[in-house]
Amino acid sequence: MANQNPESVVRAFFAELGQAGGLISAVQTYMADDCRWENSGLPSAGNKQQILAMMQGFIDGYRLHALVIDVVAVAVAGDVVLTERVDHMDTADGTRLLSFPLAGTLTVRNGLIVRWSDYFDPRPLLPAS
């Protein structure tokens, strides 16, 4: 993967997230061990193991099967990929639980994602109060 440009890595990562089992395999394949994942309004994860645990929490808590990502726009500056997108949370039976717009920044080095930050309104993901 070291020869891939940052945009190709990010697009491949997003594509795998949308496949069966992809929430875990995409993290295992495309993220560096020390990758940091930050989501506005939600807890951050400081390494791949914490990211895997967060993904498993989404799988278990929402019965999430796939995160289908529609990329609206991409800008690349060196190893940084900026995205505007709509993420769709789907269950195994194809039910779309939630769709939400967001912007994200992913940094890629040596073919692996080392930082993933998403900026969005997290209220739809939080328990009703």
pTM higher than the cut 0.85: yes
Per residue in 23-68, pLDDT (tens digit) is 999 999 999 999 999 988 888 999 999 999 999 998 998 889 999 9
Indicate whether 79 belongs to any domain: yes
Query: How far is residue 115's CA from residue 103's CA, in Å, rounded to a whole number?
Result: 14
Query: Residues near 89 by Cβ (< 8 Å), separated by ≥ 6?
Result: 58, 62, 64, 67, 96, 97, 98, 99
Residue 127 belongs to a domain: no
Mean pLDDT, rounded, for 98-105: 94
Q: Report how far residue 122's alpha carbon sits from residue 116's, in angstroms, rounded to the nearest whole number.
A: 16
Domain-embedded: residue 63: yes
- Please, which pLDDT band fits residue 124 given cuts at 50, 70 and 90? confident
Report pLDDT for 48. 98
Domain range enclosing 27: 6-122
AA identity, residue 113: I
Q: Which of 28, 29, 50 is nearest to 39 (CA)?
A: 50
- Can you give the CATH number for the domain in which 79 is found? 3.10.450.50
Q: What is the pLDDT of residue 73?
A: 98
Residue 97 falls within a domain, yes or no?
yes
Q: How many domains does the chain have?
A: 1
